[in-house]
Structure 1
Amino acid sequence: MKPNLTIFDEPLLYTEGLSKLLVQNKIFSSIEIFNTSEGLYNHVKDNPPEYLMISSNILMLSDLYNCIDKVISQNNNIKIMVIGNSYDVIVIRKLFNKGIKSYLDKNSSYDEFIKSVNALSSNEIYVCEYAKKMMINFISNEQEKQSSSIKEPLTRRELEILKLICDGHSSKDIGGQLFISINTVETHRKRILMKLNVKNSVGVVKYALENNIFS
C-alpha cells in the first residue's frame, strides 16, 4: 500500500499541481495540503501522515525549527522532508539534528524529490545534490584551515610539552619532569606557538581543546 503525504506550503496552485502529479504517478495513496500551522498541527494530532513535506516558503527559519519540534513531539514516526531556501551547511545540519529525514533545496528537481521518497521508504536519509556540494566545499575549506594553521607537525617531544602546558605546568616544572633545561623548554614552547599559529599558552590550550588533541 502506498504511503500518504501531507504538504505544508503555499501557494496552492503549486501544491495542488504537485499533489495531482504525485497521485497520478501512484507515488502516494493520498495527499493533504495545509497552509496554516494550526491546521497542520490538528491534522498531525488526529490523522498523522507517514510523510510530511514542509516548505521554507511558508515559514521563517526560527518558525521552521519550532514547527519541526512541534510535529515530532506529537509523532516522531513522521518522515519530515524540508524544502529549503539555499540554506547553509550549519542550518541543514541543525535541521537533521532536529529530526528531519530529507533535505531538498528550492532548486531541486522532481526526480530528486522521488529519490528522496525512495530513500525514506528504505529508512534512509536524503540530502539533495546542491546541499551535498555545499557540504563537500565546507569540509574542504575546514581541512584547508586546519592544514594551514599547522605549518609543520608537532614532534613527540613537542606533544609531551604541549600536554604538560595544557595541564598547567610551568617551564621549570616541565624541565624537571622531562630532565631538560628551562631554555630547552622555552625553545620548544616557541616552536609550538609558531606551528599552531597562536600567541601564548592560552591559545595553545584553546587549540588543543578545539581539536581534541588529547581526547
Structure 2
Amino acid sequence: MHKNNMNLAIVDDHPMVLEGLKSLLQQNEMFQIFSFTKGAAVLDFILENRIDVLLLDIVLKGGNGLDFCKIIKKQSPNTLILAVSNQAERSIILRFLENGGSGYILKNADAKEIMQCIQDAINGKLALCKDVQEIMAKPSLINYEIPRITKRELQILKAVSEGQTSAEIADKLFISVITVETHRRNLMQKFQAKNMIELVKIATDNKLI
C-alpha cells in the first residue's frame, strides 16, 4: 500500500458530515480524497480506480452500508473499509466486521480519534473507536441463560415481531387485551428489555423467533 499517496473515499449522504470529514482529512497530505453520497457511485468508481481506505456510513438512502461493505470487499479485497456511523448496536458492528470491515467509528468520535482509527487500519489493526470498544467489551445476552418462556408467550412474541397490535393478538388468540399486555410485560421483564423493539431483537439474536 502506498502510504504517501493513498486514495481515501468517503460515502455519506449527509453533506455536513461529508464536508466535516473532508476538511479533517485534507490536513493529512498522504490522502487524495474522493467523496460520494451513494454507495452505488463508489461501486462504479472502484471498477476503474484504486481506493485504499473507504469511510462508509451504514444508513444510506440508496442502500445499506453493511451490504456495500461485502460487495466492495469482493470487488476490491485490498480496500480497508471503516464504518463511520451513528449505529451503536453490537449486532450491527459485528455484522459490519464479519462483512470484511476493518474498523468501526461512531460519529461522536473526535477528530484525533478518527485519525487514529484510520492509522490503525492502515497499520493492519482492527480500528474501533473508544465507545465501540466499550460496546464490544460488554457481554451480550447470548452469554446468559436464555429465559424459559411458555408456549403462549412464544405465540405473543412471534405476533409482536410481525408488528401485530395487542388488540389484533387478542383477537387471534381469543384472549383479552389485558392478558396480552400482561404477557408482554412479563416477557420484557424476563429478557430485561427496555421496550418491545429491544425484546424482539434479543429474541431474534437468540433464535427464539
Q: State if a TM-score over 0.5 links the two structures.
A: yes
Instruction: For residue 70 of structure 1, give the secondary structure of its aligned residue in structure 2.
Output: helix
1:126 positional shift: 1.0
Deviation per residue, 1:73-101 (Å, 9 max, x gap): 11111000101223311221111111000
Provide the C-alpha distance between the structure 1 equivalents of 2:31 and 2:47, rounded to a whole number of angstroms: 20
Say how many residue pairs are matched: 145
Provide the C-alpha distance between the structure 1 equivalents of 2:60 and 2:95, rounded to a whole number of angstroms: 19
1:129 positional shift: 1.2
Q: Which residue is equivalent to 2:17?
A: 14
The question of whether the paired residues in 2 share the 8 Å contact of 1:89 and 1:138 is answered with no
The question of whether the paired residues in 2 share the 8 Å contact of 1:56 and 1:82 is answered with yes
Provide the C-alpha distance between the structure 1 equivalents of 2:135 and 2:20, rounded to a whole number of angstroms: 30
Q: Give aligned-pair identity as a percent.
A: 19
Structure ID, larger Rg:
1
Q: Which residue is equivalent to 1:25?
A: 28
Provide the C-alpha distance between the structure 2 equivalents of 1:112 and 1:72, rounded to a whole number of angstroms: 24
Q: Does 1:39 align with 2:41?
A: yes
The answer for unaligned runs of 5 or more in structure 2 is 146-205
1:65 positional shift: 2.1
TM superposition outliers: structure 1 runs of 4+ over 4 Å:
none
Provide the C-alpha distance between the structure 1 equivalents of 2:17 and 2:96, rounded to a whole number of angstroms: 24
Normalised by the length of structure 1, the TM-score is: 0.59
The answer for unaligned runs of 5 or more in structure 1 is 147-209, 211-215
> RMSD of aligned C-alpha atoms?
2.5
Q: Compared with structure 1, are the counterparts of its residues 59 and 68 closer, same or farther at alpha carbon in structure 2 (3 Å cutoff)?
A: farther
1:10 aligned partner, one-letter code = D
Q: Compared with structure 1, are the counterparts of its residues 11 and 63 closer, same or farther at alpha carbon in structure 2 (3 Å cutoff)?
A: closer
Instruction: For residue 60 of structure 2, give the secondary structure of its aligned residue in structure 1.
Output: coil
Q: Which residue is equivalent to 2:66?
A: 65
Q: Which residue is equivalent to 2:116?
A: 115
Instruction: For residue 48 of structure 1, give the secondary structure of its aligned residue in structure 2.
Output: coil
Structure with the largest fraction of helix: 1
Q: Which residue is equivalent to 1:91?
A: 92
Deviation per residue, 1:91-136 (Å, 9 max, x gap): 2111111100010112111111111111112111111111111222
Deviation per residue, 1:113-170 (Å, 9 max, x gap): 111111112111111111111222225x665x36xxxxxxxxxxxxxxxxxxxxxxxx
1:124 aligned partner, one-letter code = K
Provide the C-alpha distance between the structure 2 equivalents of 1:112 and 1:10, rounded to a whole number of angstroms: 22
Provide the C-alpha distance between the structure 2 equivalents of 1:25 and 1:65, rounded to a whole number of angstroms: 27
Provide the C-alpha distance between the structure 1 equivalents of 2:25 and 2:11, rounded to a whole number of angstroms: 15
Provide the C-alpha distance between the structure 2 equivalents of 1:136 and 1:29, rounded to a whole number of angstroms: 32
Q: Give 1:46-195 correspondences, 5 Å limit.
A: 46-59=48-61, 63-138=64-139, 145=144
Provide the C-alpha distance between the structure 2 equivalents of 1:91 and 1:38, rounded to a whole number of angstroms: 21
Provide the C-alpha distance between the structure 2 equivalents of 1:88 and 1:39, rounded to a whole number of angstroms: 27
Normalised by the length of structure 2, the TM-score is: 0.61
1:7 positional shift: 0.5
1:52 aligned partner, one-letter code = L
